[in-house]
Amino acid sequence: MATEYEVAKEDQYMDKISNDTLLLSYKKARKLEQIDEKFIELLKKEIRRRNFPHEQ
């Protein structure tokens, strides 16, 4: 859990980011999130293929 000081410091940092940088960062993060989801699905598929027990 972040302290009030840490949250305030993060807010100050975020205020310095330009709108363009903010949008590009968001788009990149979403893309990475999609890649992660695809990778997780690939891993699950391979685990099922090998009949390897796993938690879901």
pLDDT at site 5: 78
Please give the pLDDT value at position 32.
92
Q: How many domains does the chain have?
A: 1
Instruction: Report residue 19: phi and psi, to 5°.
Output: -60, -45
Identify whether 46 is part of a domain. Answer: yes
Q: Please tell me the number of Cα atoms within 13 Å of 2 on its side-chain side.
A: 8
In a domain, 43, yes or no: yes
Q: Residue 7 falls within a domain, yes or no? A: no
| Domain extent at residue 47 | 27-51
**Tokens at residue 10, please?**
């993060």
Please say if the pLDDT value at position 42 is more than 60: yes
Asked if residue 45 is part of any domain, the answer here is: yes
Q: Is residue 5 part of a domain?
A: no
Note the pTM of the prediction, 2 decimals. 0.52
Residue 10 covered by a domain:
no
pLDDT for 55: 58
Write out pLDDT tens, residues 7-37: 788 878 778 888 888 889 899 999 999 999 9
